[in-house]
A and B are shown apart, each in its own frame.
Chain A
Amino acid sequence: MKAIARLVFSYFTGTPVLRACTIGGLALMAIDFYFVATQPQSGEKLWIAILGLMFFFVGSSLMPVMFGRLARSHSVGVLPGGRVKLLLSAFVTILLVALPVGVLSPASLIATNSSLAEVMKDPRARDYVVGVAALTFSSAVLFAGWMYLAMWFLTSQRNMAGLFKGLLVVMLVMFAPAREIHEFTVSLSWNLLQIAIIWFVFGAGFLWWPRFKSARARHTGERFAGLAGVLTGRTAGREFDVMLGTANPWLLVAALALPLVLMTRFVHETPSVWVYFLTIFSAVTGAYSGQAVQRSRALWLRGDWSRTALFSLVERSVWRHNAHVLGALALVIVGVGLDAGFPATLLAASVPLLVLGTILSTYLGLMNTRGLGWLEIVVAVSVMLLLMVLAVLIARERLDIVGIVAMELGLAVLAIVLRIAAHRRWKQLDWMMCRPDRALTARGA
């Protein structure tokens, strides 16, 4: 119990920033709860709670990272009850993050319509509020669980498989619950059943994984090696691209394909969703270039390249890769648009947006030569916000084409600035400053 509590405490307070987020989030939720409990008709102040909840969720973002590291470590195998305690700590964290939603939603419902005392007097109203609380809480547990899973995939597996899994989970989280709510199919028993199944499967898999791994190694050996080779390996081609990880763009296309298929299932004729998510995908495509800096270290000693020449080659290689994916995304928006009858102006504005999304994130990735500092984070978040705003504006019914073109031109100028910054940084590239985490810890020797 002590170990679980300590783990949970560490998830929320592991760094000063996360500690501040956790405390700030709790304070905001307490303030909102005070309003809801003491002031009638104060349901509209729910935004304070939502803000607090976001801070609280961010405050716990160390959980998937710590969980992942510990789960993969050898030490968890020798700690008494290590895997069980780790699993329980994750579950408790999810319950804690979901709890405020379960409390605040019915509280705001009461505050908007009546008062707590009146609801408690009426058994039917009381049962209804309790039911809403349970339903909201269970939905929040499900949602938070999926979000952590996506965060874990995206942060721990910095490869195509992680990207694919993370995107898939994000898509599921975005569309499946929304569809249930829209179609009134959500129920407490269904939520509880989902939670039970998910945690049973995940828990059993997590706890039995070491035994499964050793059994697989004993019995299957090389049986699946050939098949795995066929699925994962296109190793021929330009050696430079192989070293840089840009030899096979079709892997990324494939990673994006399944979420896209899911989108066609749920939101076939909604242009705003298509533009929005394809813009995110275009940015993800470019962000793939973020690994180029670290990988280029192995190339430095292998050819007749100065740092400037290496940048040119890397840039070319990254664009050979990204152009394929961008082309696929452009084909999707045009294909879906023609099929669903989207306005021509929307399509005309969307394709440049996808191109800009890829260009901007490509150079954001390439300029990340010194690790993520405040400047890089601020620029990246600002660029993403601009892209999202533009995506929303493009999908509006009354399209301001002049405004859109002006914004896209502005983003194009920003792309040029980022390219210049990336080029300048590569001229001074210091591979000791941009190592992967595990190497950084060993740098001292």
Chain B
Amino acid sequence: MNSASVEASNLSKAFGQKQVLQGMSFGVSPGDVIGVLGKNGAGKTTLLELMLGFTAPTAGAIRVFGHESHRLPGAIKARVGFVPQQDELLDQLTVADQLRVIASFYSHWDSALIERLCGEWGVNVNARIKSMSVGERQKLSILLAFGHKPELLILDEPVASLDPIARRQFLEQLLTISTDGQRAIVFSSHIVSDIERLANRIWILKDGKLDWQGDLDSLKESIVRLHIRGTGAELPQFRIPGVLNVRRDGAFATAVVRDWTSEAQAALEKDAAVQVEVEMLGLEEIFVELHK
């Protein structure tokens, strides 16, 4: 019995000549709340849609609950929820009708939950969808993905069109869902603070590759800014392992490094005869530094 929600090995995807993802391997387990970060065009949507089986990998494999994502059987699909970047609502319907239509595809639709969330989120079930604002449509898209209580919830920039209050409500709901440890959530977002607040694991996509995957604390411990102070007027020449960028100014230097350890710090202090202070960075700073 395979307990992983998603498993990918050596996953690659190209559109014609354009290689979007290459050689990615990862796993998603119940209880994971994974925040996917990447610049525009990094391949976040492609990665999420590969998980959902919307498209087939060019190379490698991706399995959802043990099944090849491109050929998911119905029982597995019923365990997956998805909030797309662009909503796929039916403009002609009312909210209630749209909810009824989607609910009819599932045997375990939780109407009470949806009714409660509609009330809490201020979604008018009698409103016609074409008259709703972008934010209201997004709320409805999220509700449609929640109703069958999926074990794997995939969200592609779900909060981009929500106001701060709705965003907070949505994140709280997502936290509630994730606390039972039975579900896995994978979501992409440009709002780094949301990822920082919600995710227990971070994936950073860069140039079609998974540049970092791990928990947030490890990431923060691994990528740090060093403040280096020399003893003389000028800093001696030295080499910093895993340096991302460095700026020298007389007897001082600052450097951002990855995979930093206390052993590396001790070695640098001893070899170059310098004092090193380590500054922890926020997720946003880490993201920016990784992309400099």
Determine if A304 and B102 form an interchain contact, defined as CB atoms under 8 angstroms apart: no
Determine if A445 and B41 form an interchain contact, defined as CB atoms under 8 angstroms apart: yes
Determine if B74 and A233 form an interchain contact, defined as CB atoms under 8 angstroms apart: no
* Residue B90 interfacial (CB < 8 Å): yes
List residues 401-445 of chain A with CB under 8 A from any CB of chain B.
428, 430-433, 436, 438-439, 442-445
The answer to whether A444 and B41 touch (CB under 8 A), given A228-B128, A300-B54, is yes
The answer to whether A235 and B94 touch (CB under 8 A), given A430-B54, A431-B55, is yes
Determine if A298 and B74 form an interchain contact, defined as CB atoms under 8 angstroms apart: no
Q: How far is the CA of A235 from the CA of B98 in the complex (A)?
A: 9
Shortest CB-to-CB span from A150 to chain B, Å, is: 23
Determine if B92 and A235 form an interchain contact, defined as CB atoms under 8 angstroms apart: yes
Residue of A whose beta carbon sits closest to that of B70: A307
Determine if B86 and A438 form an interchain contact, defined as CB atoms under 8 angstroms apart: yes
The answer to whether A302 and B49 touch (CB under 8 A), given A438-B86, A442-B86, A445-B44, is no
* Residue A80 interfacial (CB < 8 Å): no
Residue of B whose beta carbon sits closest to that of A234: B92
Residue of A whose beta carbon sits closest to that of B71: A306
Q: How far is the CA of A295 from the CA of B91 in the complex (A)?
A: 13
Determine if B74 and A430 form an interchain contact, defined as CB atoms under 8 angstroms apart: no
Residue of B whose beta carbon sits closest to that of A430: B55
Contact of A242 among B46, B71, B101 (CB under 8 A): B101
Q: How far is the CA of A298 from the CA of B71 in the complex (A)?
A: 15
What residues on B are CB-neighbors of A444 within 8 Å? 40-42, 45
Shortest CB-to-CB span from A157 to chain B, Å, is: 11
Residue of A whose beta carbon sits closest to that of B188: A445
* Residue A303 interfacial (CB < 8 Å): yes
Determine if B55 and A432 form an interchain contact, defined as CB atoms under 8 angstroms apart: yes
The interface size of chain B toward A, counting residues with CB under 8 Å, comes to 42
Contact of B73 among A232, A304, A436 (CB under 8 A): A304
Residue of A whose beta carbon sits closest to that of B91: A159
Determine if A229 and B85 form an interchain contact, defined as CB atoms under 8 angstroms apart: no
* Residue B80 interfacial (CB < 8 Å): yes
Determine if A233 and B80 form an interchain contact, defined as CB atoms under 8 angstroms apart: no
* Residue B165 interfacial (CB < 8 Å): no
The residue in A225, A228, A432, A436 that gathers the most chain B C-beta atoms within 10 A of its C-beta is A432
Determine if B105 and A302 form an interchain contact, defined as CB atoms under 8 angstroms apart: yes
Number of A-B contacts (CB under 8 A): 90
* Residue A239 interfacial (CB < 8 Å): yes
* Residue B75 interfacial (CB < 8 Å): yes
List residues 46-100 of chain B with CB under 8 A from any CB of chain A.
46, 49, 52-56, 71-75, 77, 80, 82, 85-86, 88, 90, 92-94, 97, 100
Query: Is the interface on chain A under 10, 10 to 19, 20 to 34, or 35 or more residues?
Result: 20 to 34
Determine if A304 and B56 form an interchain contact, defined as CB atoms under 8 angstroms apart: no
* Residue B157 interfacial (CB < 8 Å): yes
Q: How far is the CA of A300 from the CA of B84 in the complex (A)?
A: 13
The answer to whether A445 and B55 touch (CB under 8 A), given A235-B92, A305-B74, is no
Determine if A235 and B105 form an interchain contact, defined as CB atoms under 8 angstroms apart: no
* Residue B104 interfacial (CB < 8 Å): yes
What residues on B are CB-neighbors of A228 within 8 Å? 128
List residues 68-116 of chain A with CB under 8 A from any CB of chain B.
none
* Residue A301 interfacial (CB < 8 Å): yes
What residues on A are CB-neighbors of B92 within 8 Å? 232-233, 235
Determine if B101 and A233 form an interchain contact, defined as CB atoms under 8 angstroms apart: no
What residues on A are CB-neighbors of B77 within 8 Å? 300-304
Determine if A303 and B45 form an interchain contact, defined as CB atoms under 8 angstroms apart: no
What residues on A are CB-neighbors of B101 within 8 Å? 235, 239, 242-243
What residues on B are CB-neighbors of A438 within 8 Å? 86
What residues on B are CB-neighbors of A443 within 8 Å? 45-46
Q: How far is the CA of A433 from the CA of B15 in the complex (A)?
A: 9
What residues on B are CB-neighbors of A432 within 8 Å? 15, 46, 49, 54-55
Shortest CB-to-CB span from B233 to chain A, Å, is: 48
* Residue A126 interfacial (CB < 8 Å): no
What residues on B are CB-neighbors of A242 within 8 Å? 90, 93, 101
Contact of A301 among B80, B86, B100, B104 (CB under 8 A): B80
> Please, what's the 1-or-0 string for A291-322, where 1 marks a CB less than 8 Å from any CB in chain B?
00001011011111110000000000000000
Q: How far is the CA of A298 from the CA of B105 in the complex (A)?
A: 11
Q: How far is the CA of A166 from the CA of B97 in the complex (A)?
A: 29
What residues on A are CB-neighbors of B44 within 8 Å? 445
Contact of B40 among A225, A304, A305, A445 (CB under 8 A): A445
List residues 214-255 of chain A with CB under 8 A from any CB of chain B.
225, 228-229, 232-233, 235, 239, 242-243, 245
What residues on A are CB-neighbors of B53 within 8 Å? 300-301
Determine if B128 and A235 form an interchain contact, defined as CB atoms under 8 angstroms apart: no
Q: How far is the CA of A245 from the CA of B93 in the complex (A)?
A: 11
Q: How far is the CA of A436 from the CA of B80 in the complex (A)?
A: 23
Q: How far is the CA of A303 from the CA of B49 in the complex (A)?
A: 17
Determine if A304 and B45 form an interchain contact, defined as CB atoms under 8 angstroms apart: no
List residues 253-281 of chain B with CB under 8 A from any CB of chain A.
none
Determine if A229 and B94 form an interchain contact, defined as CB atoms under 8 angstroms apart: yes
What residues on B are CB-neighbors of A243 within 8 Å? 90, 101
Q: How far is the CA of A295 from the CA of B88 in the complex (A)?
A: 8
Determine if B102 and A302 form an interchain contact, defined as CB atoms under 8 angstroms apart: yes
Shortest CB-to-CB span from A404 to chain B, Å, is: 41
Contact of A225 among B46, B72, B105, B128 (CB under 8 A): B128
What residues on A are CB-neighbors of B82 within 8 Å? 301
Residue of B whose beta carbon sits closest to that of A217: B131
What residues on B are CB-neighbors of A300 within 8 Å? 52-54, 77
The residue in A300, A301, A305 that gathers the most chain B C-beta atoms within 10 A of its C-beta is A301
A-B contact pairs, 23 of them (CB 8 A): A225-B128, A233-B93, A235-B94, A239-B101, A239-B105, A242-B90, A245-B90, A295-B88, A297-B88, A300-B54, A301-B52, A301-B77, A301-B82, A302-B105, A304-B74, A432-B49, A432-B54, A433-B55, A436-B86, A438-B86, A444-B45, A445-B42, A445-B44
The 8 closest A-B pairs by CB, nearest first: A304-B74, A444-B41, A302-B105, A431-B54, A235-B97, A432-B55, A239-B104, A298-B88
Which residues of B are interface residues toward A (Cβ below 8 A)?
15, 38, 40-42, 44-46, 49, 52-56, 71-75, 77, 80, 82, 85-86, 88, 90, 92-94, 97, 100-102, 104-106, 128, 131, 156-157, 188, 190
19 A-B pairs besides A225-B128, A301-B82 with CB distance below 8 A are: A232-B92, A235-B101, A245-B90, A295-B88, A301-B80, A302-B102, A303-B74, A303-B77, A431-B54, A433-B15, A436-B86, A442-B45, A442-B86, A443-B45, A444-B40, A444-B45, A445-B44, A445-B85, A445-B157
Which residues of A are interface residues toward B (Cβ below 8 A)?
225, 228-229, 232-233, 235, 239, 242-243, 245, 295, 297-298, 300-306, 428, 430-433, 436, 438-439, 442-445
